[in-house]
């Protein structure tokens, strides 16, 4: 069973599923862009830029995008980069059947069932994980957004691992990519080598620091004043 509950101010969402892969995709979709909106980021404006950017391929479009300061602010630029990357993945790879889950916040969700509670629970043979947070009067939007984005990062990583095992990055390749500085040039090199395999490109791009949702490393930098515990869990049963 997979369960997600998010109750904070005007955000109230509950989702559950008994199927692991569908459930992970559902959680990713149910969280969607809510954390960005909690922070006041203009998601629609940023996505429109990505969808309208000229370019024969994803890299060409990405290189032509200039992020307006009023859309996300300097403090959240790394988060906005993920919004752009996710939009471009949808734009250029959807013809392949959709590599990552959609973002429409309508995947069988209901109003939150637990007041002032944020939690994600996965109790399946392949993955057992728990992340919880209680909303207090002094809880800030940054804390809530960081929690949601942390769950989203973990869920997408597990989703990609289970759905595309052939796209897994070897230790040797991870070390090789890790030596590269995060840059458009480095991303273009990865695209030239792996771009025809959508899942593989998304996975290797993530190692470089480009992801459809902010990585845990990015979250630690953006929310440096917060203690961001990872999802508690254990190895697969059986």
Q: 234 in a domain, yes or no?
A: no
- Single pTM value for the model: 0.92
d(CA 209, CA 226): 21
pLDDT single digits (tens) 47-81: 999 999 999 999 999 999 988 777 887 689 999 99
pLDDT given for residue 235 in this prediction: 46
Contacts of 149 (CB under 8 A, 6+ apart): 35, 79, 213, 214, 219
**Is residue 31 situated within a structural domain?**
yes
How many Å apart are CA 30 and CA 24, to the nearest integer? 10
In a domain, 63, yes or no: yes
Q: Which domain holds residue 128?
A: 2-224
Which tens digits make up the pLDDT trace of 196-209?
Answer: 999 999 999 999 99
pLDDT at res. 94: 73
Let me know if residue 233 belongs to a domain. Answer: no
80 CB burial (10 A radius; 0-12, 13-18, 19+): buried
The domain total for the chain is 1
Q: Which tokens sit at 79? A: 């988060």
Q: How high does pLDDT run on average in the chain?
A: 91
Q: Is 149 within the bounds of a domain?
A: yes
Per-residue pLDDT at 104:
52
105-118: average pLDDT: 87
Assign 238 a pLDDT band (cuts: 50, 70, 90).
very low
CA dist 75 and 123 (Å) reads 35
Say what the pLDDT of residue 237 is: 46
- Any domain includes 230: no
pLDDT tens by residue, 129-188 = 999 999 999 999 999 999 999 999 999 999 999 999 999 999 999 999 999 999 999 999
Does 75 reside within a domain?
A: yes
Cα separation of 135 and 30, whole Å? 19
Mean pLDDT confidence for 222-235: 76
Residue 110 lies in a domain: yes
């Amino acid at each position: 069973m997979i369960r997600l509950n998010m109750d904070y101010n005007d955000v109230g969402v509950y989702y559950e599923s008994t199927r692991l892969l569908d459930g992970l995709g559902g959680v990713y979709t149910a969280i969607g862009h809510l954390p960005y909106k909690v922070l006041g980021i203009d998601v629609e404006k940023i996505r429109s830029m990505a969808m309208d950017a000229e370019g024969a391929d994803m890299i060409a479009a990405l290189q032509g995008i200039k992020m307006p300061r009023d859309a996300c602010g300097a403090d959240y630029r790394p988060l906005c980069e993920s919004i752009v990357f996710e939009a471009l993945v949808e734009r250029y790879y959807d013809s392949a059947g959709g590599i990552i889950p959609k973002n429409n916040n309508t995947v069988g969700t209901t109003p939150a069932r637990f007041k002032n509670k944020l939690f994600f629970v996965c109790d399946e043979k392949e993955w057992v994980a728990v992340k919880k947070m209680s909303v207090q009067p002094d809880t800030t939007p940054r804390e809530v957004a960081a929690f949601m984005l942390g769950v989203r990062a973990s869920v997408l990583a597990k989703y990609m691992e289970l759905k595309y095992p052939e796209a897994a990055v070897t230790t040797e390749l991870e070390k090789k990519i890790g030596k590269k500085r995060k840059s458009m040039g480095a991303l273009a090199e990865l695209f030239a080598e792996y771009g025809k395999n959508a899942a593989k490109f998304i996975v290797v791009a993530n190692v470089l620091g480009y992801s459809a949702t902010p990585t845990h490393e990015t979250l630690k930098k953006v929310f440096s004043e917060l203690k961001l515990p990872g999802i508690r869990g254990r190895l697969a049963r059986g």
